[in-house]
């Protein structure tokens, strides 16, 4: 299956990231503090420099972690200095619910590439997109998986946001937090620019278009062989 949507690997496990780096289908990378904590990263900057010593030719996003906009700005300057392929992730608001509009606009005007993250609502996109109009290149990460977790269909929101971005060719939309491989197909069908997914999902890419009868037989064989291996008897 030929995909138009660009595939980004989402994670902070070094071995997993380097495995995906070798895959020609992977066009970029995203990380966040939660993934880093889960992967056992202790030194944020050291980890980033280590990864960037190898992954230096594909876009990669590292996130600020202050809750103060002035401190976020200082962190963003430092993170951006780590490499030309680096995008700085800025949350759509701080923990007080205050929008990061002014910060994003200031960074964009300085020429820093920004990835605005944790977006779940169309009105958030409306607020933040004008702040990115002077950016040399920017992403907006819309958490479609979390929208779906709330019992809502993310497709209408994702499509509406894409329509808005028609007026901003320097901004690409990321389908973030996918829950299954089919989300890659959905993102591709609506013309979403990028989808970022964990290695567990990306490793299923060879299944796209797989013959269902063949897949059914493989499933039956799996159940049978596992029962034999376990030595089950009735």
- DSSP string computed for 81-104: TT-TTEEEEEESB-TT--B-HHHH
Section 34-42 average pLDDT: 97
Q: What's the pLDDT score for residue 194?
A: 98
Above pLDDT 90, what percent of the chain? 99
Q: Answer yes or no: is pLDDT of 1 > 80.
A: no
pTM of the full structure: 0.95
d(CA 139, CA 137) in angstroms, rounded, equals 7
The predicted pLDDT at position 168 comes to 96
SS3 assignment, position 159: helix
From CA 115, how far away is CA 20, in angstroms rounded?
A: 21
Tell me the average pLDDT of the chain. Answer: 97
Task: Report all structural domains of the chain as residue ranges with CATH numbers, in order of start.
Answer: 6-208 (3.20.20.70)
Judge whether 89 counts as a catalytic residue.
Answer: yes
- CA of residue 120 relative to chain centroid, distance: 13
pLDDT score of 2:
87
Closest CA to 158 of 142, 139, 138: 142
The answer to whether the CB of 82 falls within 8 A of the CB of 52 is yes
CA 233 to chain centre: 46
Select which of 89, 113, 127, 133 is catalytic.
Answer: 89
């Amino acid at each position: 299956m030929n995909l138009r949507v660009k595939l980004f690997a989402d994670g902070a496990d070094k071995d997993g990231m380097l495995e995906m780096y070798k895959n020609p289908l992977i066009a970029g990378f995203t990380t966040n503090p939660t993934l880093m904590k889960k992967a056992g990263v202790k030194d944020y900057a050291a980890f980033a420099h280590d990864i960037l010593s190898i992954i230096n030719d594909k876009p990669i996003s590292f996130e600020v972690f202050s809750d103060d906009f002035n401190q976020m700005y200082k962190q963003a300057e430092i993170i951006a200095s780590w490499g030309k392929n680096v995008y700085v992730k800025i949350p759509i608001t701080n923990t007080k619910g205050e929008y990061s509009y002014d910060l994003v606009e200031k960074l964009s005007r300085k020429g820093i590439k920004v990835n605005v993250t944790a977006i779940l609502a169309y009105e958030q996109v409306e607020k933040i997109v004008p702040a990115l109009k002077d950016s040399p290149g920017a992403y907006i990460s819309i958490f479609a998986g979390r929208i779906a977790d709330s019992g809502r269909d993310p497709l209408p929101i994702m499509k509406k946001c894409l329509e808005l971005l028609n007026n901003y060719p320097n901004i690409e939309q990321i389908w973030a937090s996918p829950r299954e491989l089919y989300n890659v197909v959905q993102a591709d069908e609506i013309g979403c620019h990028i989808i970022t997914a964990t290695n567990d999902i990306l490793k299923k890419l060879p299944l796209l278009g797989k013959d269902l009868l063949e897949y059914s037989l493989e499933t039956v064989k799996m159940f049978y062989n596992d029962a034999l291996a376990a030595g089950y008897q009735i």
